[in-house]
Amino acid sequence: MFLSFYYVLNTCSGEKGFVGFTMYLIVVCGGCGRLLVADAGKKSRRCPYCGARMRLAKAKRVGSAETAREASELVQHLKRRQL
């Protein structure tokens, strides 16, 4: 499953809105399984929780967002879904 912030937003509000550029990716850490926000322009990301370094091209992506704020909101949304 792959969710974008705007997909979530539109699903919640019922509006069909602007779909922005992907600046941030929400990926799952291969080391600890937590959700991380990664800069879409970077090639790799170090997990702040377990220290594992992952290549974004190979990471499991679960979402995308245009801004850091949207990315963090999407992470919160996805965490709630996982509970």
List binders of Zn ion among 8-27 (CB under 5 A).
Answer: none
The answer to whether 29 contacts Zn ion (rule: CB under 5 A) is yes
Structure tokens at 68: 């850091």
Residues 55, 43: contact at Cβ < 8 Å? yes
Q: Which residues contact 81 (CB under 8 A, 6 or more apart)?
A: none
From 7-15, 39-47, 56-64, 73-81, span contacting Zn ion (CB under 5 A): 39-47
Exactly one of 11, 41, 49, 55 binds Zn ion (CB under 5 A); that residue is: 49
Structure tokens at 63: 């979402």
Q: Which positions touch Zn ion (CB under 5 A)? A: 29, 31-32, 47, 49-50, 52
